[in-house]
Amino acid sequence: MKQVAYYLFDTSLGSCGIAWSEGGNACTSPAVTLLQLPEATTEMTESRIAQNSGARKSSAPPPQIADVIKKVCKHLQGEVQDFRDIAVDLDDAGPFARQVYEAARKISTGQTRTYGELARTLGRPCAARAVGQALGRNPIGLIIPCHRVLAAGGKPGGFSAHGGPATKARMLAIEGVTLRPPLTMK
């Protein structure tokens, strides 16, 4: 039977939460099921991760998850990390969302794609909006780098984490990507 737990940890952006599963059909070692970026307060972060993961709070993460936490902390401090080797548990995502998440994980640090480009990569050129909706439900932000997917024309598009597009721009800036300022009418 799959067991799910979560743990809160501090980063340079605020308190984050991570949830992981163990013992399910998909994997035998711990796999990340949710990464909660900081909310306005630690209490809000904990409330969000507890609600979204349905997990119990853990006093300490297993070693593999502790390593993920270290990578997340380093990344958010500006020491860019590669998260593609981290085991994730996407059992609760539908088939299309899993395809979107797998395609997003292939976007290298410092690179971006548009929702339309990602849709074309999946062989579904008219599915840009569906790609955006799937990324809006991404449970493992940063590890599944939905922040690297932009709207057409290099605009940030939406971002479901606290702070919205400003947080997305900040995460991209950590990776060396600067978004173009919006055009203004004179």
Give me the pLDDT at residue 182, please: 56
Structural domain boundaries of the chain?
4-77, 95-175
Between the CA of residue 139 and those of 78, 87, 90, 111, what are the distances in Å? 22, 14, 9, 21
Contact between 27 and 134 (Cβ < 8 Å) = no
Give me the pLDDT at residue 11, please: 96
CATH 1.20.1440.80 fits 95-175, yes or no: no
Q: Which residues of the chain have pLDDT under 50?
A: none
Give me the pLDDT at residue 25, please: 54
Given the residues 16, 27, 73, 146, select the one marked as catalytic: 146
The reply to whether 146 belongs to the active site is: yes
**Cβ neighbours for 165, distance < 8 A, ≥ 6 positions apart:** 156, 157, 158, 159
Give me the pLDDT at residue 28, please: 67
Give me the pLDDT at residue 55, please: 84
Give me the pLDDT at residue 27, please: 55
Give me the pLDDT at residue 166, please: 84
Give me the pLDDT at residue 23, please: 67
Residues in a beta bridge with 149: 113
Give me the pLDDT at residue 169, please: 86
Give me the pLDDT at residue 38, please: 94
Calpha distance 19→7 (Å, rounded): 7
Calpha distance 132→114 (Å, rounded): 9
Between the CA of residue 87 and those of 30, 134, 153, what are the distances in Å? 8, 19, 33
